[in-house]
Amino acid sequence: MAMRLALILFYASMTASLVFGLADPSWWMLPAALAGWYVADAASGLIHMYMDYRPTREGLGLDRLYFYEGSRESAEYQAMFRAAMRKLNPIERLVYDFKNHHPRPHALGRRKLGRQINSTVVFGTLPLSLLLNAACVAFAPPGWLVIGLLVMLVGGTYAQYFHGTLHRETNPWFVQMMRATGLLMTPEAHEKHHATLRQDFSTNCGWSNPVLNRVFAAMRARGRMADAGLEPR
């Protein structure tokens, strides 16, 4: 119930900013939208990088879940999974999902939309969207800026959904269309991440991957992002 209210508030807040932005149209909206899409892609990559390499909390049985060899449909596994997930906060659940998606990428594709976007909305894009509403009232920013920020929020909100579409055989028409125009990356391009786990962390359009790959290499050179964080212990 609380989640449904949060989603209603989120979409109402985004619609309010959209109406505000469109009331002041200009050609600057196009580059602003592309820039917003780029920033959302970079955010998806930075968060993915952090989650992949952030160690999980020990002693919760996450290692047993991760390395479980029997059937994941079994009652034993399902009970273990639910018990472990209850002890995690939403960020820790995301951390586990990112790590788990490396050996089992299709699990992410099967997750329901809510599991993919709800924590992003509650902890990320809803507060930012409300701030944008407040900024519209207080400072009356130009329409192109509002549209660019809105596009960024849309890209950020659906980042895990878009990542999931890279690990699913069938996708809605708009995903195919966005891939064809380069607004979303292809599964082949995302394979480069899964091949090494050391590059191409961005999962929306992938435009920011060349820059983020340099960031990752620089952090590794400083001894950060150690391989030990990649799997639960």
Judged by the rule CB under 5 A, the positions of this chain that interact with Zn ion are 52
What minimum distance in Å lies between the beta carbon of 139 and Zn ion?
38
To the nearest whole angstrom, how small is the minimum distance from the Cβ of residue 87 to Zn ion? 23
We find the least distance from the C-beta atom of residue 164 to Zn ion, in angstroms, to be 8
- Per-residue b/e over 5-40, b at no fewer than 16 CB within 10 Å? eebeebeebbebbeebbeeeeeeebeebbeebbbbb
Shortest Å, Cβ 8 to Zn ion:
30
Which helix (H) or strand (E) is 149 found in, with range?
Answer: helix 143-157
> Shortest gap between Cβ of 201 and Zn ion (angstroms)?
6
Is 96 in contact with 62 (CB distance < 8 Å)? yes
C-beta of 20 vs 53, nearer to Zn ion = 53
State which residue, 21 or 163, has the beta carbon closest to Zn ion: 163
Residue with Cβ nearer Zn ion (129 or 200): 200
d(CA 150, CA 141): 13
> Shortest approach of Zn ion to residue 29 CB, angstroms?
31
Which residues 6+ apart lie within 8 Å of 147 measured at CB?
18, 21, 22, 29, 32, 33, 36
Q: Please give the backbone phi and psi of residue 101, each rounded to the nearest 5 degrees, phi first.
A: -75, -15
* DSSP per-residue codes, 161-216: HHHHHTT-S---HHHHHHHHTTSS--HHHHHHHHHHSSS----SS-TTHHHHHHHH
Residue nearest to Zn ion (CB): 52
Q: Closer to Zn ion at the Cβ: 117 or 145?
A: 117
Q: Which is nearer to Zn ion, 52 or 97 (CB)?
A: 52
Q: Looking at beta carbons only, is 33 or 41 nearer to Zn ion?
A: 41
